[in-house]
Chain A
Amino acid sequence: MTWAAILVGAAGCYAWKIAGLSVPPRVLEHPLVDRIADLLPVALLSALIAVQVLGSGQSLEVDARLLGLGAGVVALLLRAPFIVVVFVAAATAALVRLL
């Protein structure tokens, strides 16, 4: 099932790419489409962060993950590159669990 979902997801992502290169601009070039396409990543990424950091099955749980994310925020405020942000968050959560 995971493999099928990977293939379907990949096909769907490719479909957007080839559609953009092939479809006459008038079909997709509309302010509403533009705006929703800009807002979709914001909504989906925010929801993913929330569920990833606070979700635990069907319940919500505050634990080392939230501290890891907090450390990630500090790294972002210091303009750290992507890999550093990820590493700092992981290291913080791992340290908190050790203590």
Chain B
Amino acid sequence: MSGVGDGGGLRGRAIVREGVAVGVATGAYGLSFGAIGVASGLDVWQTAALSLLMFTGASQFAFVGVVASGGSPWSGAATAVLLGTRNGLYGLRLAPLLRWTGLQRAGAAHLVIDESTAMSVNRETAEESRVGFLSAGLAVFALWNLATVVGALAGTALGDPEDLGLDAAVGAAFLALLWPRLRSRTNQVVALLAVVVALGLVPVAPAGTPVLAAAVVAILVGVVSRAADPTEVPGPDDLPSGGVHR
């Protein structure tokens, strides 16, 4: 950390400690991902590959969840990619803070997740943003992958996933991810509609597709709620006619 004075160095160490703490906390959650991954029918290698290569928790849980409910791995992949959209928005917020280019940016991109974003925004300097991003990103990456392998091996050794209630654990894991988002009325409506759409399609559509169909609910409500929100900041599409033509 060249160019950082003593005060900055102390603060830098504090930021690194915070990042490591976040990594340890998510490690516990990686244990459950590993166990659920093998319970859903993937092998240990495939479960580990998801954590290593996909490295975004909700998408990984979605992939194994779809496979566990009998869906095709391709439906799982599509659901995972749809859930990954929010990392794109995190990237937009991070780009002006981190200001990395080329290979550094390509490497950093893999670490763009909830935790690294949270530890990077709201810092005072670019250097602190980078330290926050890297310490949380790397700590989570290391512990998440380690915990996944341990959880997957334990899950394999423990026996029949249904006897252990691991099929119920998958639903609970999704609920825990969803829970903090259920405060707003719009989100509650979307959640309810998505449940109705998905359950309505289960008897008639191939496994995996009912979940993908629920994405349509999000898109429709997103479009419809546009007109209903008077506080919205005008975007480029709201320019008077004669401006932008689409």
Contact = CB atoms under 8 A, between A and B. Distances in A.
Task: Classify the interface of chain B: helix, strand, loop or mixed.
Answer: helix
Interface residues on A, range: 35 or more
A31 B226 contact: yes
Contacts of B166: 90
A52 B165 CA distance: 12
The binding surface of chain A is classed by DSSP as helix
B105 A52 contact: no
Interface string B1-37: 0000000000000000000000000001101100000
A87 B106 CA distance: 36
Contacts of B54: 6, 9-10, 13
B181 A44 contact: no
Contacts of A92: 165, 168
A22 B95 contact: yes
Contacts of A13: 54-56, 59, 80-81, 84, 87
A55 B202 contact: yes
Contact of B94 (A4, A20, A73): A20
A16 B214 contact: no
Nearest to A13: B84
Contact of A18 (B58, B91, B169, B192): B91
B142 to A, nearest CB: 18
A36 B68 contact: no
Contact of A40 (B46, B82, B106, B165): B82
Contact of B171 (A19, A32, A35, A89): A89
A46 B190 contact: yes
B81 A90 contact: no
A71 B86 CA distance: 29
B176 to A, nearest CB: 5
Contact of B73 (A2, A39, A75): A2
A2 B67 CA distance: 9
10 contacts: A14-B110, A17-B112, A36-B218, A46-B194, A51-B69, A64-B165, A81-B28, A91-B165, A93-B165, A97-B162
Interface of B: 28-29, 31-32, 42, 46, 49-50, 53-56, 58-59, 61-63, 65-70, 72-74, 76-92, 94-96, 98, 100, 105-106, 108-110, 112, 162-179, 181-182, 186-187, 190-195, 197-199, 202-204, 207, 210-211, 213-215, 217-219, 221-223, 225-226, 232-233, 235-237
Interface of A: 1-10, 12-23, 25-26, 28-55, 57-60, 64-65, 67-69, 71-73, 75-76, 81-83, 85-95, 97
